[in-house]
Amino acid sequence: MSEIRLDRIHNQQVVIAPERLHRPSLGHHTVKKFSSAKCPFCEGNEDLTPHEVYAIRENEPNGKNWKTRVIPNLYKAVQIELEDISRRDGMFESIPGVGAHEILIDSTAHDGNMVDLGKEGIENWLRSMIIRIDDLSRDKRLIHLSIFKNFGQNAGSTQDHPHTQLLALPVMPQNELVFLERNMKYYRRHGRGIVEDVVYNEKIAKERLLYEVGNFIAYCPFASAYPFEVMIAPIVTISSLNLCSRKEVSDLALIIKGVFEMLDSQLGSFDYNLYFHLAPLNLNFENEEYMSHIDRSYSFSLRITPRIFRLGGFEVSTGMAINSVVPEECAKLLRRD
């Protein structure tokens, strides 16, 4: 039986419609590889990329023998060199495309995935992000950081070699501003943030819970927008990834590894988007009313959204998702109950 559920974090309704699972022409969810004569992200091809801004290595920059590399995106959406000056033409307003757009090359393995990285590789991946968050936050023009991974064609990837993108902006996306406002109202009423309470309730309910390691849990959200969607978040509030202790980074790596092992066991090779929600990098006029309590009200989170089925006209026209797999059933399958 179908249900319309409310996603408390995003304040969006999701249609859970298991009957649609049996409709024809669903397509196949295995990852389709791109052909590439010479991959710029592979070890030994460092001369094909811009000079690295960070790497985990024990030798000189821009050569072989690295574990992760962070480079400027050759096809960057924004540029750090521009000046943040607003322009007005009547009622139309714009600013130059100021910001940072970087690529984190997850590892040297061209055909690797998150499971192949192992716990140590995922820790290196997370620590590389933390270094970049700390560095980007020093540029006070930058207030929002989006960290995301597109894996496979259905998820929008244009490069085989596993990588993650970091995109820092001088403006707050509207959906994030809306969340900050809702979250602050909730915090003033309850003394806790929305994510903290959602995580607590998922932990108590247990039926969608997948994994718990230290201060982190993984679960299939009550109003999952995608089949086999998984959210990972801290149980006790941590506003951004770079505020995690070494043990918390280690625990987070372990839970990410466990989740991908579960997903791989059920889905095999699959396309997915992975993205972090993080507290603002810096204070400015857009977010200043929310920043005084940000460390107590805002919990960062990580979402993994398998892209098994394509979006249709309903999703595009309404902004509402239709999920054909009940989250409770996804959790059972992933736990192998």
- Whether the pLDDT of residue 47 is over 50: the answer is yes
With bands split at pLDDT 50, 70 and 90, how would you rate the model's confidence at 37? low
Question: How far, in Å, CA of 15 to CA of 6, rounded?
Answer: 9
Sign of CA dihedral 259, 261, 263, 266: negative
- The predicted model gives 176-185 an average pLDDT of 96
Question: How many CA atoms within 13 Å lie on the side-chain side of 291?
Answer: 11
- The predicted model gives 171-188 an average pLDDT of 95
pLDDT at 21: 59
pLDDT at 20: 58
pLDDT at 33: 54
- What backbone phi and psi angles, to 5 degrees, belong to 247? -65, -40
Q: What are the structural domain ranges in the chain?
A: 3-335
User: How buried is residue 96: exposed, middle or buried, by Cβ count under 10 Å (0-12/13-18/19+)?
Assistant: middle
Q: Which residues contact residue 325 at a Cβ distance below 8 angstroms, ignoring those fewer than 6 apart? A: 18, 21, 227, 228
The first and second tokens of residue 329, run together, are 């059933």
Q: Which residues contact residue 71 at a Cβ distance below 8 angstroms, ignoring those fewer than 6 apart? A: 49, 50, 51, 52, 53, 102, 103, 105
Question: How far, in Å, CA of 337 to CA of 330, rounded?
Answer: 10
pLDDT single digits (tens) 244-293: 999 999 999 999 999 999 999 999 989 999 999 999 999 999 999 999 99
With bands split at pLDDT 50, 70 and 90, how would you rate the model's confidence at 42? very high
Sign of CA dihedral 322, 317, 307, 262: negative
Place of tokens 């596993």: 162
Question: How far, in Å, CA of 68 to CA of 64, rounded?
Answer: 11
pLDDT at 7: 87
Q: Which stretch of 9-13, 109-113, 284-288 has the lowest confidence by average pLDDT?
A: 9-13
List strand residue ranges (DSSP E) for the chain, in order.
Answer: 3-7, 12-16, 54-57, 66-72, 87-89, 92-94, 100-105, 144-151, 163-169, 209-213, 216-219, 230-234, 272-277, 301-306, 321-323
- The predicted model gives 146-152 an average pLDDT of 94
pLDDT single digits (tens) 182-226: 999 999 999 999 999 999 999 999 999 999 999 999 999 999 999
- The predicted model gives 312-323 an average pLDDT of 76
The first and second tokens of residue 212, run together, are 């718990």
Measured CA distances, 312 to 93, 150, 256, 323 (Å) = 33, 19, 30, 12
Q: Which residue has the higher pLDDT, 158 or 53?
A: 53
- Whether the pLDDT of residue 25 is over 50: the answer is no
- Whether the pLDDT of residue 27 is over 80: the answer is no
Q: Which stretch of 36-40, 138-142, 183-187, 241-245 has the lowest confidence by average pLDDT?
A: 36-40
| Domain 3-335 sits in CATH 1.20.1740.10 | no
Average pLDDT of the chain to the nearest whole number: 89
With bands split at pLDDT 50, 70 and 90, how would you rate the model's confidence at 120? very high
Per DSSP, 98 falls in state: B
* % of the chain with per-residue pLDDT over 70: 91
Question: How far, in Å, CA of 183 to CA of 191, rounded?
Answer: 11
